[in-house]
Structure 1
Amino acid sequence: MGKRTNTAYWTGKHWRIDVQHNGRRRSFYSAKPGRTGQREANAKADAWLDDGINPRGERISTLYPRWFATMQETTSAGNCRNIASRWKIWILPMIGSKRITSLTEQDVQEVVNKAYAAGKSKKTLKSICADMRAFFKYCRLCRLSTFNPEALHIPAGARYKGKQVLQPADLVKLFNIDTTTYNHQTVPDEYINAYRFQVLTGLRPGEVIGLTWADIHGDTVHICRSVNIKGEQTRGKNENAVRSFTVSALARRVLDTQRAETGSTGSVFQITSEPHYYRRWKVYCAANGLTPCSLYELRHTFVSVVKTLPAGEVKGLVGHSEDMDTFGVYAHTLAGDAENTARAVNGVFLRVLKNA
């Protein structure tokens, strides 16, 4: 208990007690009549003396900018834009007006439930949960609250948003057709090697744009920067984004072709911006009859192709943490997968029967 030496007194309207803690002075009140009110005011003062937390608490909408400022100092601008968007759309409208000390676990769970009911993907729901957990951790560290939503969870029915990936027939076209259309004419595609390298390595679009020849040493590629959609250079999405890997023979061939065309200084693929890169990719797909997909889905294509490799190896290549469900999120069905699985199952049973 805090060292309170006084007790609440009746002012004629309510009970009041004045206390001081670490140079700060506060007053606590209770409008309840009789000794019940006096005990309540004293209890509020004792709680504040014990943990320094104001029992009334500040509103979430007031505390959010303070937490968000710390995020701006410690994470990328692109990540901050996503955080700000989720808070504006989902979190603040639901709990922004509530006081931090009056929140319940159901209050924050309803934020997730509403986003789920609106059809948001499992990935978005996980991000909303992560945002709120980080915010409440900040509040605990600042001794603004002791609230910890341990039971916060994603509804069981949540699913990852379906992604489009290039099928084997699309990959054949990608690695055999170098041309696209420009002003209604067939011309060589200036970014063809970038498309191919991204599919062969699983790099994020920003990592492809940020790659320089100085990052490549023999067969080893060091990923140490990314350029986001705003043209801002960052260290990457997270700490796992900075990584090194050895390229495959096919990827090395693509790099050799690119070096012969542009030289070996500066940017590898000389992409002016991600929006321009994406526009050219969409034109290439339309011109050559490829399954329409986004640049980021080229990363999904890579994981879908190599999903038979050990998960630990793939995580290192694409820059995922140990607890990231790489195959669950990024691996998708390719044409022929079902038939290959059936043949594999058939082979297992044949071996068992033969051994028996």
Structure 2
Amino acid sequence: MGRRTNTAVWLPNQNRWQIKVQKDGVRKTFTSAKPGRTGQREANRKADLWLDEGISSTRLLVETAYVNWIAEVKMTTSQSNWKPIESRWRTWVQPDLGKKQVANLNEQMLQAVVNKAFAAGLSKKTLMSLCADLRAFCKWLRLGKLSTFHPEELHVPKGARSEEKKILQPDALRVLFAVDTTLWRGKRVPDPYINAYRLSFVTGLRPGELIALRWADIQGDMVMIHGAINVHGEKTRGKNSNALRSFALTSQAKEILEAQRELTGGEEVVFPIEAESTYRHCWKRYCEANGIEYVPPYNLRHTFVSMAKTLPEGTVKSLVGHSRQMDTYGIYAHLIKGEKQRTAEQLEGVLDKVLADSKE
């Protein structure tokens, strides 16, 4: 900051601090309406950023920059990722920050947005996503030399609660494994996706992962998850970097897959499901036809996690693709190979206990 030789001065008629600086023949004026030395320091800081950090625009509005950032996000990710970001922008960020200048952003402004969303009752998961949006936006600004602001203390309020997920209870699970039929126009017919429902429960696979599953992904007792099909029909590499994973099949999972192979004749895809909406509709119809309290298809995965909670936490996380320490497809394969078989054996015991009455 050696190039600035002057300091901001107070202009009584305009009720603001002002400083004029020059760089490469370009002269700029920076101001602050904050009273006292705080305002003087802010005006000086703006000037220093432009002089020393190469900040290219101090009048850029957040609404302009945010839309440009989202446009770049759209180029590198799927709709299932950028649409929620765009929705959070319109609902929570734009109303309070849209007309602010990027150069005036501070941590208190961003935290106020998060706090307002918290007060409105948003879940902890959504608040975490909102914080992640704001941090990513600020990083984009820094990379583009539009700001040097880094919201280090931005956080989710301590009182935020995780959204409670409904799961299938043991009685419903026994029905699931005892009844193969659903109702179609008032008649009992085989449910085409019965094995998909069951596999989701015994493996914790996400609906999109079930739809993307190919027979080629199943090698012996091992399953390799290469990606997913999202709600928009797009092939993705999964919900997060740890979604790409492998795991050993339990005996229950192998029986389900063998039954499915007999139905499909070994077609390329394991489950010929047209779209996630179709899968969800058929599952809801199955629940209604068989007296099961409906939960979204994704909650079959939550049911699996709840059922397997007696296993070590790290084991369950690696099974469902949540562990951040788990390298994709296992750099530690020489260690994991035996672990996966032991995990399958432990899981078989838990599944047998939960489903014991369904075979009576």
> What TM-score, normalized to structure 2?
0.80
Residues 171-190 of structure 1 aligned to structure 2 (within 5 Å): 171-190=173-192
- Kindly report the root-mean-square deviation, in angstroms, between the aligned alpha carbons of the 2 structures: 2.9
The number of equivalent residue pairs is 315
Residues 1:48 and 1:209: Cα distance change in structure 2 (over 3 Å):
same
CA distance in 1, matches of 2:286, 2:97: 46
User: 1:20 aligned to 2:23?
Assistant: yes
- Superposition deviation, residue 139 in structure 1: 1.2
Residues 1:134 and 1:283: Cα distance change in structure 2 (over 3 Å):
same
Aligned to 1:139: 141
Preserved CA contact (<8 Å) 2:242 2:324: no
CA distance in 2, matches of 1:90, 1:106: 15
Preserved CA contact (<8 Å) 2:46 2:103: no
CA distance in 1, matches of 2:45, 2:162: 47
The amino acid of 1:160's aligned partner reads S
Which of residues 300, 303, 315 in structure 1 aligns to 2:302? 300
Which deviations, in whole Å up to 9, do the C-alpha atoms of 1:303-336 show, x marking residues without a partner?
0000111111111111113389xxxxxxxxxxxx
Which deviations, in whole Å up to 9, do the C-alpha atoms of 1:248-272 show, x marking residues without a partner?
1100110000001112231101111
Which of residues 205, 208, 227 in structure 2 aligns to 1:206? 208
Aligned to 2:52: 50
- Superposition deviation, residue 222 in structure 1: 0.9
The amino acid of 1:135's aligned partner reads F
Residues 196-345 of structure 1 aligned to structure 2 (within 5 Å): 196-322=198-324
- Superposition deviation, residue 79 in structure 1: 0.6
- Superposition deviation, residue 39 in structure 1: 11
Which deviations, in whole Å up to 9, do the C-alpha atoms of 1:264-307 show, x marking residues without a partner?
23110111111111111001001111121001111100100001
Which of residues 193, 196, 201 in structure 2 aligns to 1:194? 196
Secondary structure of residue in 1 paired with 2:156 = coil
- Superposition deviation, residue 53 in structure 1: 2.1
Gaps of 5+ in 2: 327-360
User: 1:122 aligned to 2:124?
Assistant: yes
> What TM-score, normalized to structure 1?
0.81
CA distance in 2, matches of 1:118, 1:17: 43
- Superposition deviation, residue 103 in structure 1: 1.8
* Identity level (%): 52
- Superposition deviation, residue 41 in structure 1: 8.3
- Superposition deviation, residue 30 in structure 1: 6.5
CA distance in 2, matches of 1:255, 1:30: 68
Secondary structure of residue in 2 paired with 1:19 = strand
Deviation larger for 269-278 or 103-112? 103-112
Preserved CA contact (<8 Å) 2:78 2:234: no
Aligned to 1:69: 71
Residues 1:44 and 1:126: Cα distance change in structure 2 (over 3 Å):
closer
Secondary structure of residue in 1 paired with 2:296 = coil
Preserved CA contact (<8 Å) 2:305 2:316: yes
CA distance in 2, matches of 1:16, 1:246: 66
Secondary structure of residue in 2 paired with 1:240 = coil
CA distance in 2, matches of 1:263, 1:131: 45
CA distance in 2, matches of 1:193, 1:43: 63
Preserved CA contact (<8 Å) 1:44 1:55: no
Deviation larger for 81-90 or 191-200? 81-90
CA distance in 1, matches of 2:224, 2:117: 38
CA distance in 2, matches of 1:128, 1:294: 24
CA distance in 2, matches of 1:42, 1:121: 40
The amino acid of 2:169's aligned partner reads Q
- Superposition deviation, residue 82 in structure 1: 1.1
CA distance in 1, matches of 2:123, 2:46: 42
CA distance in 1, matches of 2:19, 2:112: 36
